[in-house]
Structure 1
Amino acid sequence: MVQKIPGSVVQIETRPLYNGNEEAQGVKILHRVFWSFNPCIRTFRHCKPLVQVDGETVDVWHFFLRNLGTYVVRKDGVGMISDRHESIRAAVNRSSGDWQPPRAWWIFCIRHIGSNFLRAFKVPHLQKLIVNVGYSRTVEEYNINYKRLE
């Protein structure tokens, strides 16, 4: 990929192959891959600085966020939209500040907040009001939607 589209990035992590308790000498298996095409890397510089992620394990998120921050997200003030999964929080905390303010801001996904609200309270019409508060585009609209929720 890097030869066909110069400037693209591929980071591969492997693990040893085991046969029972013995490591197979000279044999590695694919563990995880991060890649980004050069046109995507170049274009991100001109896009709204938002990244949306969804939960996995701490190690997977640490690997992904480290590479994303090194090769793609090169400016401060990026918003990272996600659910509130503990693995993402732990990976952000392990990032040595690369995914914390002012470099990055963690923004919670309103759809996840609405789903969690519905799961906890089982009141669909209130869930819609929660989502409307989250989608407010102005302070005035927020205040109106919040009053409805109250």
Structure 2
Amino acid sequence: MSALQQYNLGTVVVWDFIPTGMRDAFMLNYVFWAFKPSIDGFQHCGPVIYIDRTHLNGKYTSTILIAIGITANNKILPIAFTIVDEQRSASWTWFLKNLRQHIVCGQEGVTLISNLGEGILSAISTMWTNPRHGVHGYHRFCLRHVCANFYKEFRNTTLRDLVWRAGTLTSAEVEL
């Protein structure tokens, strides 16, 4: 991470450690990073951030949390990453706090799009959409996840496809 910062000036890296109880010994809890070109690039994207996670397999069984934006050309822009031990409310809260501080930088009205995970929902309600805590943003569910969960519940591709069609309609396409 030091090399990333040294050779990519402006790259943000934030560490979180847990004391082990031994003198001067700490264990890595989380690490957040965002490359300077991605930070700058987000300023030219719409005010929407997609967040998700992926599990690492093999020797290292951590989870990577990721935030992405969409450029004006509809290309994916990876914005920020965090490695955590497991996805729970505390790790998502820490990720969103750093995302707000280092990427969004006080911009109001940014919408997060996520899946329906309990840890994500708890963190978003605390760190993103709660005006009592000085946070004013929006949250929406990822339509792909909604459709997948709908199919898992009802096992009907026709109904799933209708949910997709309904979710992708614009207000101009809806007849009253």
Q: CA deviation at 1:114?
A: 0.8
RMSD across aligned positions (CA): 2.0
Secondary structure, counterpart of 1:72 in structure 2: helix
Q: In the alignment, residue 80 of structure 1 is paired with which amino acid?
A: L
Aligned-partner residue type, residue 110 of structure 2: V
Name the residue aligned to 2:59: none
- The share of aligned pairs that are identical, in percent, is 33
Mapped partners of 2:175, 2:15: distance in 1: 48
Aligned to 2:99: 68
CA shift, 1:77, in A, is 1.8
Whole-angstrom distance in 1 between the partners of 2:88 and 2:18: 17
* Unpaired stretches in structure 1, ≥5 consecutive residues: 18-22, 145-150
State the 1:32 CA deviation.
0.9
Give the 3-state SS of the residue equivalent to 2:41 in structure 1: helix
SS at match of 1:2: helix
Judging changes above 3 Å, is the alpha-carbon distance between structure 1 residues 43 and 87 closer, same or farther for their aligned structure 2 residues?
same
Structure 2's unaligned 5+ residue stretches are 54-86
- The correspondence for 1:77, drawn from 95, 109, 122, is 109
Provide TM-score, normalisation by structure 1.
0.80
Change in 2 beyond 3 A, CA 1:128/1:77: same
The 1:142/1:133 distance shift into structure 2, 3 A limit, reads farther
In the alignment, the residues of structure 1 paired with residue 163 and residue 18 of structure 2 have an alpha-carbon distance, to the nearest angstrom, of: 45
Distance 1:50 1:93, change over 3 A: same
Q: Distance in 1 between matches of 2:98 and 2:41?
A: 17
- Equivalenced residues, count: 135
SS for the counterpart of 2:24 is strand
- Kept in 2: contact 1:133–1:142 (CA 8 A): no
How far residue 2 of structure 1 moved from its aligned partner, in angstroms, is 2.2
3-state DSSP of counterpart to 1:3: helix
In 1, Cα distance between the equivalents of 2:174 and 2:88? 34
1:139 aligns with 2:171: yes
Matches for 1:37-56 after TM superposition, within 5 Å: 37-54=35-52, 56=87
